[in-house]
Chain A
Amino acid sequence: MRLQHAIGARSYVFRDLRDLMAKASPARSGDSLAGLAASTDEERMAAKLVLADLPLMTFLDHALIPYEADEVTRLIVDTHDVQAFAPIRSLTVGGLRDWLLSDLASTETLAATARGITPEMAAAVSKLMRNQDLILAARKCEVVTHFRNTLGLRGHLAVRLQPNHPTDDPRGIAASLLDGLMYGAGDACIGINPVTDDPAKLAALWRLLDELIARFEIPTQSCVLAHVTRQIDAINAGVPLDLVFQSIGGTQATNRSFGIDLALLREARDAALSLKRGTLGSDLMYFETGQGSALSANANHGVDQQTCEARAYAVAREYQPLLVNTVVGFIGPEYLFDGRQIIRAGLEDHFCGKLLGLPMGVDVCYTNHAEADQNDMDTLLTLLGTAGVNYVMGVPGADDIMLSYQSTSFHDALYLRELLGLKRAPEFESWLQAMGLIDEAGRLGTTRANTVLPKLTSFAENAKL
């Protein structure tokens, strides 16, 4: 396979498919840190021009990370659906972009071909797409999932209520929970990032959420984002747990750095399924990802960070997840330097996930050492709203006091609803209306003449571990 392109007198030669993919990537600090990025803008364009003419079939014949060396590659190859791939098998990467943007690629067609597209194909085409292409193509995809409510319907936006507290204080957590519910957030799930790793304290957090959801009959699901082994132990100990969470990456070695492999995820899913806690469906896995994790674990095999990220989605889709989100700006400026890189990565991740058939959400976020601010997050949030993102995070005032980063707030979700007319999960919306928290149009009531606030306040004040 000769990968080269002449521009004027200069001929650019690319060593292999990994080299080509990395150099075709829009510039970002993580690929420079890894020593993989194009050294000039012209070299980057040469790589894109070669990539555009590459047949999609190439990715089936040439694994970026060897089959023998990596169980994620084996998963991608072994689960590739040849029938689903048939309609697009003759296309080049550039042709795939044209097809995605054409009327031929309808919502139904995209759902039917999702299993025929490998993560590397998705990553490759995304490198040729402008931000507007990533938005428009993602918007055509509709990925609906169920546990106790219906997530991902077109025209809907859900919110993960994230009531973290730096010492896992139950009243502190419950206070943030109340704030979120009063602002109409929490349909994607109520998910706590715990500080503790102590099984007894974790169990108390699951019970707190279970009691809240049961007592107020909230059509949503709970999650405590501990390590997956802790969650399996909790299930075996009879703890009332709804969703199983795990951070995942796109290579076997990245996953090993997280202390997991594919078999462990299978075991966790089977354990949670045995509880039969979903009322509308059994989509119960929740995965988080993010560009840069493979390099951070010294596990990228010379593959660029966006392609590694797309490979993580192959892991996710093996387990029929309810929720998947990229935590796009959390990792820091050595991977995504500024608002521009974070915005681009957020759109790429959302597009690739949706194209592969995942219920994609995005943690629109940044840290204080990244060259980004609230305005950048507003831009990304608005773009993702137009792209049809399944859910975003809801953190009181956008300030996560446990994880020390800035995510999106309950207000941010209201802004997006107001701007784009996006609705909550239907079951959750009905519950909020029954509680008197929102009106028939889904807007927060101006008079808080509801009966649930005193009861929720009492719940928060009496919360104990």
Chain B
Amino acid sequence: MKTLPDEVRDTPVIRDSWGELRRFTDARLALGRSGASLPTREVLAFDLAHAQARDAVHLPLDAAALIASLNADGWPVLQAHSRASERSAYLARPDWGRRLAAESAVLLAELADKFAREINVGIDIVIVIGDGLSSTAVQRHAASLLAELSPLLAAFALAPIVVATQARVALADEIGELFGARLTICIIGERPGLSAADSLGAYLTHAPKIGRNDGERNCISNIRPAGLPLRTAAIEIAELAHAILDKKLSGVALRFDPNDHSLTQSSAPAG
């Protein structure tokens, strides 16, 4: 006759006694174990974080909602799309995400031309908002970041904001070139980590044109309420924009310390 085991009344999870060390790090410490494996609760916590990161990558940007809120803040907005027709093409072909789709290029060129004739001055800055690798970040924080940024850029001639989908950072180079702008500010969703899926990055590029490389840009990253707060980020972006337009260069050649407002041009080669 088979003997049934006793009823299990307590969880057999073996707990770790050093959980207090979590105060020093966000690493997943002291998770405990079920036999040699992760306890159920920890498996699910991890998978939830991964699910949120994947959603940030794969959910399409709701461009209409973003444009509506930008319009409500008084921004004129244009739309553009890269040569990557959908997300899996975007992920496999970064080169496609760096160039405008043919129809977008034609349309933006016309609008840029019209806009230039209307305002009759050279354009200083084009702000491009791209979905990048986290639509979540853009949906949540882009409009708020721009609201913070708006008064800080009041001295400059701005083109309409361009909301671009399936966009890589370098897509802003082509857009900036179409507008003949002196500077592009590309605000884009960063590759999500497990702990944060809603970080924005801001990339500033002087004299934008097709073919600029990453060494010619300055970047401010981890922009999110729990990371670099939006207001602080807006101030850093604006200071950087002033510095770039003042020095007429961007990237590794520009030494920029947000804590040190006396900007200096680097004499050393790019490291």
Residues of A with Cβ closer than 8 Å to B? 29, 32-33, 163, 165-166, 169, 171-176, 178-179, 182, 333-334, 337, 367-371, 373-374, 395-399, 401, 404, 406, 409, 411, 414-415, 417-418, 443-444, 446, 448, 453, 457, 460-461
Contact = CB atoms under 8 A, between A and B. Distances in A.
A179 B194 contact: no
21 contacts: A172-B24, A172-B27, A174-B24, A175-B21, A175-B27, A179-B16, A179-B18, A179-B27, A334-B94, A337-B92, A368-B53, A368-B194, A369-B91, A370-B91, A396-B28, A396-B31, A399-B195, A401-B26, A418-B36, A443-B36, A460-B21
A398 B88 CA distance: 26
Contacts of B36: 411, 414-415, 417-418, 443-444
B37 A368 contact: no
Given A166-B26, A406-B194, 4 more contacts: A337-B92, A399-B49, A414-B33, A448-B17
B192 A368 contact: yes
Nearest to A166: B26
Contacts of A398: 28, 46
A163 B24 CA distance: 12
Interface of B: 14, 16-18, 21-22, 24-31, 33, 35-38, 42, 46-47, 49-50, 53-54, 56-57, 88, 91-95, 133, 191-195, 197
A409 B88 CA distance: 29
Choose among B16, B18, B191, B192 the residue with the greatest number of A CB atoms under 10 Å from its CB.
Answer: B18
Given A374-B47, A399-B194, A457 B21 contact: yes
Contacts of B17: 448, 453
B42 A397 contact: yes
Contacts of A399: 27-28, 46, 49, 194-195
A368 B193 contact: yes
Q: Which 7 A-B pairs have the closest CB atoms?
A: A397-B28, A172-B25, A414-B36, A404-B193, A175-B21, A368-B53, A171-B24
Contacts of B29: 175-176, 179, 396-397
A169 B133 CA distance: 28
Nearest to B194: A399
A374 B46 CA distance: 9
Contacts of B30: 179
Contacts of A182: 16, 18
Given A182-B16, A397-B31, A448-B17, A333 B42 contact: no
B89 to A, nearest CB: 11
Nearest to A448: B17
Contacts of B18: 175, 178-179, 182, 453, 457
Choose among A175, A369, A399, A414 the residue with the greatest number of B CB atoms under 10 Å from its CB.
Answer: A369
B193 to A, nearest CB: 4
A246 B17 CA distance: 36
Choose among B27, B30, B93, B133 the residue with the greatest number of A CB atoms under 10 Å from its CB.
Answer: B27
Contacts of B195: 399, 401
A121 B188 CA distance: 44
B21 A179 contact: yes
A172 B21 CA distance: 8
A333 B58 CA distance: 13
A353 B36 CA distance: 30
Contacts of B88: 371
B205 to A, nearest CB: 20
Contacts of A163: 27
Choose among B21, B31, B133 the residue with the greatest number of A CB atoms under 10 Å from its CB.
Answer: B21
Nearest to A167: B25
A175 B193 CA distance: 21
Contacts of B197: 368
A33 B27 contact: no
A176 B27 contact: yes
Given A179-B18, A373-B50, A418-B36, A401 B27 contact: yes
Nearest to B43: A374
A182 B29 CA distance: 11
A465 to B, nearest CB: 13
Contacts of A174: 24
Nearest to B21: A175
A369 B191 contact: yes
Contacts of A172: 24-25, 27
Choose among B22, B24, B25, B38 the residue with the greatest number of A CB atoms under 10 Å from its CB.
Answer: B25
Contacts of B194: 368, 399, 401, 404, 406
A247 to B, nearest CB: 17
Choose among B17, B31, B47 the residue with the greatest number of A CB atoms under 10 Å from its CB.
Answer: B31
Nearest to B17: A448
B19 to A, nearest CB: 10
A136 B31 CA distance: 35
A179 to B, nearest CB: 5
A406 B14 CA distance: 24
Contacts of A404: 191, 193-194
Nearest to A396: B27
Contacts of A370: 91
Contacts of B191: 367-369, 404
Nearest to A174: B24
A156 B19 CA distance: 30
A185 to B, nearest CB: 12
A371 B53 CA distance: 12
A296 B4 CA distance: 60
Nearest to B31: A397
Nearest to B53: A368
A338 to B, nearest CB: 10
A175 B91 contact: no
Contacts of A179: 16, 18, 21, 27, 29-30
A202 to B, nearest CB: 15
B112 to A, nearest CB: 30
A444 to B, nearest CB: 7
Nearest to A419: B36
A404 B193 CA distance: 5
B92 A333 contact: yes
B37 A414 contact: yes
A334 B92 contact: yes
Given A33-B93, A334-B94, A169 B24 contact: yes
B41 to A, nearest CB: 12
A267 B249 CA distance: 37
Contact of A401 (B14, B56, B93, B193): B193
A444 B35 CA distance: 9
A375 B262 CA distance: 52
